[in-house]
Amino acid sequence: MKILVCISSVPDTTSKINFTADKSAFDKNGIQWVINPLDEFALTKAIKLQESQGATVTVVNVGDAGTEAVIRKALAIGANDAVRVNTEAKDSFSVAKEIAKIAQDGGYDLILTGKESIDYNGGAVPGMVAQLLNYAFVNAAVGLDVNGSEATAVREIEGGKETISVKLPAVVAGQKGLVDEKDLIIPNMRGIMSARTKPLQVVEPSNSEVKVEAVSFDSVAPRAAVKLVSADNLDELVRLLHEEAKVI
């Protein structure tokens, strides 16, 4: 079985987010980049299938050379090889088309990805990839088993869980719960060293069509100063909640 895992390079959650002076782009200076956490659940699941079923695992990333450190980490976690599409990820559609091209050319049985990236939270790429390939699609999976040419996925729905059976090839977008957090793999020294020699193929983009353009960005407004009210001054508290906070 051949598995393709789609990974995004995203800012670490502790990074301070800023935009350029003209608010037209994200300021990358001083940012620590990591594998998108939801993609890491998908990658760990793929490695488990590698161990239990002898699957080969390829990671794919759409990005410039700056994403290669994150790709090498994915290789250190256990992926067999990697593909980087040499273009900046600009919108969901163009990214999905590049991934679909890699998937189609490689003849993968299962495509795994996180349900969304934590930077833009678009959540559109997995479904677009499935549509472009005409593959079955399961979104927001919290469980996955593969038996031969069939996959059984579990996803959370309102008030319960839904179990879905699909024929391979298929696209499954996972989230927290696809594997236990304690099972997420931290690369050891052996993995880091072996990642340096694993194949990382760089391919040029096949499609330049971009359908969405970011016009400008605005930072979140700073929090207002906190007003402290004495515990015995309930009248003042009610007045502030009514006249200033306007919550009552």
- Of the listed ranges 121-125, 172-176, 210-214, the least confidently predicted one is 210-214
pLDDT for 205 equals 94
Alpha carbon 27 to its chain centroid, in Å, reads 20
pTM metric for this prediction: 0.86
Q: How far apart, in whole angstroms, are the C-alpha atoms of residue 2 and residue 109? A: 5
Per-residue pLDDT tens digits for 1-18 = 999 999 999 999 888 888
pLDDT reading at 68 higher than 90: yes
pLDDT digits 0-9 by tens, 95-119: 999 999 999 999 999 999 999 998 8
The correct answer on CATH 3.40.50.620 for the domain covering 2-220 is: yes
For the residues 21-41, what does the mean pLDDT come to? 89
Work out the average pLDDT over 130-136. Answer: 97
Cα separation, 93 vs 202, whole angstroms: 20
Beta strands at 56-63 and 2-6: parallel, antiparallel or unpaired: parallel
pLDDT at 208 over 80: no
Break the chain into its structural domains and give their ranges.
2-220
